[in-house]
Amino acid sequence: MVRSRLLWRLYAGYAVLVVLTTAMLGIMVARSVEGDLLRQIESSLRSDAVLLGEIARPYLSAAPDSVFQRRIWVLGAQTGTRLTVIRPDGVVIADSREDPSGMDNHKMRPEVLEALARGVGTASRYSHTLDQEMMYVAVPLRSGADVAGFIRAALPLARVDERVANVRSIVLLGGLSAALLALLIGFLVARSFTRPIARMTAAAGAIADGDYNQRLPVDRGDEIGRLAAALNSMTTQLREHIQTITADKAKT
pLDDT tens for 29-85 read: 777 777 787 888 888 899 889 888 888 888 877 666 788 888 889 988 888 889 999
User: Could you say which of 1.10.10, 1.10.287, 2.60.120, 2.40.160 is the CATH number of the domain covering 2-6+164-251?
Assistant: 1.10.287
Residues of the chain with CATH 3.30.450.20: 21-159
Long-range contacts of 5-14 (CB under 8 A, 24+ apart): 6/194, 6/197, 6/198, 7/190, 7/191, 7/194, 10/190, 10/193, 10/194, 11/186, 11/187, 11/190, 14/186, 14/190
pLDDT above 70 as % of the chain? 93
Task: Report how far apart, in Å, the C-alpha atoms of 38 and of each of 137, 159, 220, 249 are.
Answer: 12, 11, 54, 90
**Cβ(218)–Cβ(31) under 8 Å?**
no
- Quote the CATH superfamily of domain 21-159: PAS domain (3.30.450.20)
Query: Which tens digit of pLDDT belongs to each residue from 80-129?
Result: 889 999 999 999 999 998 888 888 999 999 999 999 999 999 998 887 77
For residues 9 and 120, what is the distance between their CA atoms, to the nearest angstrom?
Answer: 58
Residues of the chain with CATH 1.10.287: 2-6+164-251
pLDDT of residue 128: 76
Confidence of residue 1 (pLDDT cuts 50, 70, 90): very low
Query: Which tens digit of pLDDT belongs to each residue from 196-243?
Result: 777 777 777 877 777 777 777 777 777 777 877 888 888 888 777 877
Q: How many CB atoms are located within 10 Å of the residue 60 CB? A: 20
